Structure 1
């Protein structure tokens, strides 16, 4: 088994509120960044929110599909959670039943080793799912189901990790290195995300049917969706990791995110700022900004952002690049966005400008399929996620119809994502340099 790294640091940047935040992986994205919500903040004047993505030349497959409740996988998720809870309870009871400190310590270490082994197995499982999807052996729905299963197990393993940490703290004259525990937490983060979690809720019937975007490379995956008036996105790029090297400092990790997401960094909430949690082979930088939340993971070896989660309320999303078609008294405007990005469709009367409530369908040129999106509603607006290729939006209202064919825009890529090794750490500007570090 490859040893997990043992170093952990929490670095705070003008962030007394975030010092208390400690989410259990990406499951706690929105909750962890408590305090002022995006709606309470002044919007940024810059429309760009950069994002990690898959380059066009590396893209293997992309799909956008609506997913619904599915009884089979739903039962699987319930079974996974039940088994995970039973195994955790059994582990805790087995350890608590032993009075001998030496034996109890060995049991804790053995259980912790089991969780670490499962984390490594999840790496292989995730890569296998991506490979099968790329080969056409899995549909987009099956890809989401499998990634949601991995997400579910990772969250259960995180619960067990926390229980083992508490048992270690309660054991006299015994301790587990905090860096080892934190490194395991970061590793389990790799397999969780807001889109996977929402997919599990949709498939289990806990959330409304949702249209998901899935884009893959040979070893990476990008998932996004619009759910509960929020745009959620997660990206994982294993090709941007270098596990054979380490030594990155938390300051450099923070600088890396500031350089890659300059607009987000500039618009971060001053009362919440940003924080970085490190564990040897990777660092998680969390930022609450005026248009949502960003979770960026920096690899210690490559010094690149290799994973990202974004949560953005639709009210904070800019309109994008408009394309308009007018016919039969209908004015259809599509605010174009990048592949998998938040896509707004607006329907109005061409003469009066009044919004129109009507059915909307979308067809992707690549596969000649047309899918019903829903109704625009009283405000004439409907949101979805953008396909990766040319697509057509169709609206029919009585004898009137309008069709608009357009294409996605370019991805607002990270400002810099270089593998160059810097021996000198970047010095932050004076307003950002009042840093304090403490062991987690």
Structure 2
């Protein structure tokens, strides 16, 4: 593991759409995936999960939180390690102990491999309407918990290995893989929402044959995207070194690395044994973590935590009726949109109930504003207060 580059970058260039397609000298003749990043200006590029997307919007409340409670994998992992390693370890010879630790490690490696296979199957089933959104989120939640359980079991296994003279195991690469499942999105799914408060979380889920994205809107806009075709650990490493991987990330996320941010830093960590390169960057709107795969030289998993209130507006619509003014400010890459309601005569903010395609999505606050996760396609927007109601239709715009 090596840490690279933490400093201020001051170059400023406009952000553009980036594609990781096209072989270069290192990938000539290889089947490198074509990855499209949604074009943005004044904010970060965002990895697209793929074509033929199924899109769902839902609210995280008590019912969904209860549904995400899944079977506890801790007991299963603990039982396996008890049976394979702990049982009889004290009385075993050093050679027998090595075999026990090796077998226990092998079983944990199998469980690590099963995490991605489980997610890949769940995502593809969801994309073809063979699995509900709640069941898909259950899979993500289960992997979130099991990855932590496996990591603890690996630490315990190292302690057993240290008791064997001249024998050791390295779990550094395994920990790097497990880290990808401990994301901000999955962590926030585990928190209990306020039943009646304004902090109930809104979720957007998009799935395709090649990957998925899960977005969550709370105090921040948190987005997790994975491209399964961006991971191929069996291929030769396409990166010459960690600097090469960092340079590739700069090309894929030009605004993050090239804009003149007041605050900016970045670092890169290499896990060469599993051909993963974690690139992290902090910028004015939040932070980016991208896991680049050495076999494909593409982004396998992208994690972004962003302050959506700093996003530039790319499209604005406005309607007046019933003594109210309803407006929506859309942001790039179909990100969060701000809905505002005001008095048509005075311009004062109005508290109003907002619905999208007839479904309630929340109420504007004392400032007359509400942030929503808009549908991918056009939709009907309505706001209703004690004074009246106003509605309009939002087209499938460039946002």
* Fold-level similarity (TM above 0.5): yes
Q: Normalised by the size of structure 2, how large is the TM-score? A: 0.79
1:51 to 46, 49, 55: 46
In structure 1, the residue matched to 2:11 is none
- Residue 195 of structure 1 corresponds to 185
Find 1:293's aligned residue among 262, 281, 287. 287
- 1:260 and 2:255 equivalent? no
1:386 is aligned, of 341, 359, 374, to 374
Match for residue 347 of structure 2 among 324, 328, 353: 353
Aligned position for 1:302? 296
Q: Label 1:329 to 1:135 Cα distance change in 2 as closer, same or farther (>3 A).
A: same
Counterpart of 2:278 in structure 1 is 284
Tell me whether 1:233 sits opposite 2:223 in the alignment: yes
| Preserved CA contact (<8 Å) 1:131 1:218 | yes
What's the CA shift string for 1:37-58, capped at 9, x where partnerless?
Answer: xxxxxxxxx6221111134xx1
Unpaired runs of at least 5, structure 1: 1-8, 17-45, 364-369, 412-440
Equivalent of 2:319, from 325, 328, 342?
325
CA separation of 1:255 and 1:94: change in aligned 2, threshold 3 A: farther
Structure 1 CA distance for aligned equivalents of residues 91 and 206 of structure 2: 49
Query: How far apart are the structure 2 equivalents of 1:134 and 1:313?
Result: 29
Q: Is the alpha carbon distance of 1:246 and 1:350 closer, same or farther for their aligned partners in structure 2, counting shifts above 3 Å?
A: farther
Does the Cα contact within 8 Å between 2:327 and 2:341 map onto a contact in 1? yes
Q: Give the direction of change, closer, same or farther, for the CA distance of 1:104–1:390 in structure 2 (3 Å limit).
A: same
For residues 134 and 189 of structure 1, the distance between their equivalents in structure 2, rounded to whole angstroms, comes to: 25
Distance 1:356 1:110 in 2: 65
Cross-structure match for 2:12: none
User: Is the CA contact 2:314–2:331 (under 8 Å) kept in the aligned structure 1?
Assistant: yes
Following superposition, the deviation at residue 396 of structure 1 comes to 1.0
Q: TM-score, normalization: structure 1? A: 0.73
TM-superposed CA distance for 1:399, in Å, is 5.0
Cα distance in structure 2, aligned partners of 1:204 and 1:189: 28
User: CA 1:52 to 1:165, structure 2 compared with 1: closer, same or farther past 3 Å?
Assistant: farther
1:108–1:302 distance in 2 versus 1, CA, 3 Å: same
**Pairwise CA distance, 1:407:** 3.8
Contact 1:344 1:383 in 2 (8 A): yes
CA contact (8 A) 1:145 1:200 kept: no
> Retained in 2: the 8 A contact 1:81–1:156?
yes
User: Separation in 2 of the partners of 1:226 and 1:110?
Assistant: 43
1:166 positional shift: 4.7
CA deviation vs aligned residue, 1:362-399 (integer Å, no higher than 9, x gap): 11xxxxxx211111110111112121111122101235
CA RMSD for the aligned pairs? 3.1
Q: Tell me the residue number matched to 2:67.
A: 73
Task: For 1:337 and 1:107, locate their aligned partners in 2 and report how far apart those are by CA, in whole Å.
Answer: 55
8 Å CA contact 1:349–1:356 kept in 2: the answer is: yes
Flag structure 2 segments of 5+ consecutive residues without an equivalent.
Answer: 9-40
